[in-house]
Amino acid sequence: MAEAGERMIERLRRKAFLPESRKGLNVRFGIAEAAQLLGCSTNRIRMAEEDGRLPAPPASDSGRRLGYTVEELLHMRAVLDASPARQEQDQPAIIAVQNFKGGVGKSTVTCHLAHYFAVQGYRVLVVDCDSQATTTTLFGFNPHFNITREQTLYPYLSIDPTQADLLYAVQKTPWPNVDLIPSNLELFDVEYELAAAGADGGSILATRFRKLKKGLADLARNYDVVILDPPPALGTISLAVMQAANALLVPLAATTPDFCSTVQFLSMMDQVLGQLAQAGIEVDYGFVRLLCSKFDANDPSHAMVRQIMEGTFGPALLPVPILDSAEISHAALRMMTIYELEKPIGTARTHKRCRSNLDEALAQVEQLVRRGWGRVEPLPEEAIVHAA
């Protein structure tokens, strides 16, 4: 069954990414959307095109402007001094998207968050730490056929490492400002090795925790945001990710089982972080937030559970949820996110509503990152909730 499944994934991938069987990025932005993203007027862009600082976008046979690619947007940001990139003294945001409950949309949130930051002009690194490799798949790689163990975190974290840093694992993606460290099933071997090492005293385990943090910190110097997708379970890799991150984003669906399991996750996190502190392993988060995903505004039970979440978690729960949308599911079938679609899959209205919601929900995370850099005037959390 596993072999048949892997062959089917490869067939789907080839069908989705013909002719080269490699994922491409063909999305374009009109001048009005480009101006909004850059925080300038359309006249400023047109003037830069007229005086030669910027090339005009190509036109169709009918003379209609085709819009700007992501790469062209990045060039425009450089020319017009509209880059949101952190300053040299700012600490890169290393965000772990974590919940031990499966099915909460963890990998979907990870990929959409990465692409949202990319559209906004940030340099992004995504690290797939989950041997199930859903994030790797959504980036257009087949973990079984395209990724070897030597391209994952394994050579760096194993008991007998063959790599001294993580540069070897960084893969280019179709996004010019998004890189990926992929995963595959063989990464799970690290769990066995580190668990066995921990049984012999735990010193090797503690060393590996610190090693992942150092490796990611060294790599993060080349990025603004690093997004970690750990396994949905409390294992050695998850513990290492918790310690390597400087921010935590917890996605959860608006159902009673998801709420209960997330409470257990937070309780377990509290205990684990206390134990890590006792072992001399420091964990320091700039922010910890919960993000309601797969929210159906037309389902009364979802509304009721969300009220419970708000009463329980207060301002730690981000006020704008990610709405459940068929457009996200349709995009995932093509191994894409909403930000990669050239045109709507469903109706234009559904697509616009989905994209608008994602922009608003994920902008909350961007706001937290920029607050950490001192780019946003610090406000009381109650004021942030009220403003949202």
Tell me the per-residue pLDDT of 148-196, one tens digit each, with 9 for 90 and over.
Answer: 999 999 999 988 889 999 999 999 999 999 999 999 999 999 888 877 7
CB 298 within 8 A of CB 304: no
What is the pLDDT, as a whole number, of residue 378? Answer: 47
Spatial distance between the Cα atoms of 72 and 279, rounded to a whole number of angstroms: 48
Predicted pLDDT at 388: 47
The answer to whether 232 touches 106, Cβ cutoff 8 Å, is yes
The pLDDT value given to residue 84: 94
Tally Cβ neighbours within 10 Å of residue 176: 17
Amino acid at 256: T
Give this prediction's pTM.
0.90
User: What is the predicted pLDDT for the residue at 238?
Assistant: 87
* One-letter identity of residue 341: L
pLDDT along the chain (388 residues), means of 10: 78 64 80 94 94 88 85 95 93 93 82 97 96 91 88 92 94 96 92 70 66 93 96 84 93 90 87 81 90 92 93 94 92 90 90 95 97 71 50
Both tokens assigned to 223: 């990025």
Predicted pLDDT at 21 = 53
* Residues 262 and 101: beta-carbon distance below 8 Å: yes
CATH topology (fold) of 92-387: Rossmann fold (3.40.50)
Q: Are 327 and 335 in contact (CB under 8 A)?
A: no
What is the structure's pLDDT at 204? Answer: 64
Sheet holding 171-172, edge to edge: 171-172, 178-181, 124-128, 225-229, 93-97, 247-253, 288-293
DSSP-assigned letter for residue 87: P
Contact 97, 110 (CB under 8 A): yes
Q: Give the integer Cα–Cα distance in Å for 384 and 382.
A: 5
Q: Give the pair of three-digit tokens for residue 343.
A: 């045109």
- Measured CA to CA, the distance from residue 236 to residue 245 in angstroms comes to 14
pLDDT at position 199 is 55
Return the domain boundaries, the chain.
1-83, 92-387
Confirm or reject CATH 3.40.50.10310 for domain 1-83, answering yes or no: no
